[in-house]
Amino acid sequence: MEWVNELAITLGHACGLAGLQVLLHLVLRQRMVLRAIFGQKMVSAMEKKPETSQKNLEVTAQDLVSSLVSIVLFFMYLKSSWDLRETAESRVRGHTELSYWAVQLHQGYTIYELLLYLYSGKDKLMYLHHLFVLANGLYTAWSRRLVFFYVWMGLVEGTNPCLSALYVLQRAERKDSSMMTICGVLLWLGFLLLRMVNVPLVFLGTVRDTPFVSDEDKIHLRFGQSSVLIIFFMSTFWFYKLTKGMLKQVGLIPRKNTTDKEGKEKRQ
């Protein structure tokens, strides 16, 4: 029954890290904290509509937690993937102390976000995305197998800070600001490199090292490969929407409201 104890410890670590992020969220959602970070004007804009005021503060706190955790995760994953990259043995069966806690921090973050989704509601695609991340991550942390591919795949978390910044700027009614444009372009570049290029490379890497995977880890490998493909297809859909939004933001394609306004002026 040793595996049961190890699984309980793995779950305990993930839940403990999720709890810390929930506590951080509770601190960051306070108006005085948000005002200290963003300033009175931005927070006042978020609270402009009474019916969405509290929700805006909640999701802004979530964006702050997401950005902080994602930055830490990105560098932990980058170092871990670099350390485990050299041989098929290290890629398939290797792990480090840093890689273990990186995966566990990610699981804590995923649990934290799922709790928020259950509280406030979210698109079904995001539930699916997070459940795949959680299932793969917890098994990877527990088994210490195929860690390299998980941490390599985890580099996609580097796209979160700019995405969170866009959401915050939208709530603060800064849609036409230069900062909105800069964050949009950086997000697009991050998606291109870390998701549209990186994710297929992760999948090809798993295919290359399949002969070195033991029979007992083949199910884990296949499930991981399926998850990589699903996340890639989801990322492709998001990248399409992101590209349209960025082109509108930089003025290369017209916005709907601009087109409608011009049409009315012509008819007059």
Predicted confidence (pLDDT) per residue in 100-151, tens digit: 999 999 999 999 999 988 887 777 777 877 887 888 899 999 999 999 999 9
Please tell me the distance from the alpha carbon of residue 40 to that of residue 31, in angstroms, as a whole number.
Answer: 9
For the chain, domain boundaries: 2-252
Structure confidence at residue 263 (pLDDT): 45
pLDDT of residue 151: 96
> What's the pLDDT at 48?
87
The amino acid at residue 128 is L
pLDDT digits (tens, 9 = 90+) for 96-107: 999 999 999 999
Best CA proximity match to 62, nearest among 179, 206, 165, 149: 165
Low-confidence ranges of the chain (pLDDT < 70): 1, 255-268
CA distance 37 to 64: 10
Q: Which residues neighbour 115 within 8 Å (Cβ) at sequence distance 6 or greater?
A: 18, 22
